[in-house]
Amino acid sequence: MTKRQLAGSRILITGGGSGLGRQMGVQAAQRGAHIIIWDRDRDAAERVRDEIIAAGGTAESHVVDITEVAVVNRVAERSGVVDVLINNAGIVAGKHLLDATENDIRRTYEVNALALYWVTSAILPGMIERRKGAVVTVASAAGLLGVAQQTDYSATKFAAVGFTESLRAELRALGHPIETLTVCPFFIDTGMFEGAQTKFPWLLPVLKEANVARQILDSIERGRLTLVLPVFARVLPLARLLPVRWFDGLADFLGVNKTMDHFVGRKPSAD
């Protein structure tokens, strides 16, 4: 396990203009990192940049649509050296399959899955050249367990988990000393999953944004490979040893497939 100090590092955060991205940026700046904010929303990105600078940190912001390869490559050059890439941007539609439009589904895949390839491919060569760096992917507990009303979202988060696991294997096979971290949190109180509920909050609580950000940054510094939150969610891989019907029954008992019944969310945007 490699130890890493964020102080002095240059950290790029996609979707850094709000929610968990903003919180990670603010906290990482407090640890002495220079923050590079990528977001589609210019005003949001600049607000976080200015907030960090006003608090004594250093930051820059860039307007980026991470689904556009040419834009990603162009802004990656302007962003310069990146020591830690945090693939954080994500959206959720929260609709049943038959209610989801073609645009809903395509947009979810473009932001949550395909953008991982475009952004990482733009940033990774510099890390390989310098023989150091870390790629962090914020997936979801929904990337470990399929959830009703998340046929698109959950599938993209399964893709995110597989992407990072395969990337880790590839880097290891090629002898590149680049670290990876996969983050799989339950619902976070960022507003992205507004209205989502949990049957057993003592087992599967709605997570606090600031606490999740802190644990992610701690995990980067400690060189961890995975971070699953809360602790109870870590039993999901073990639960898959059960017969499928038992596994499904456990998920139903835990109320997992009712969590989205009262989902409201907010207008989908890179978060």
Catalytic residues: 153
CA distance 219 to 166: 20
* Residues comprising the chain, all counted: 271
CA distance 111 to 84: 20
Q: Please, which residues bridge with residue 12 across strands?
A: 36, 85
CA distance 8 to 249: 48
3-state SS, residue 228: strand
Count of C-beta atoms within a 10 Å radius of residue 261: 12
* Ranges of H-type helices in the chain: 19-30, 42-54, 69-79, 102-109, 115-130, 151-174, 209-222, 236-239, 244-253
Look at residues 33, 40, 24, 18 and name the one whose alpha carbon lies nearest to residue 227. 24
3-state SS, residue 85: strand
Burial class (CB in 10 A: 0-12, 13-18, 19+), 204: buried
CA distance 174 to 171: 5
Helical (H) or strand (E) element with 38: strand 34-39
CA distance 89 to 79: 17
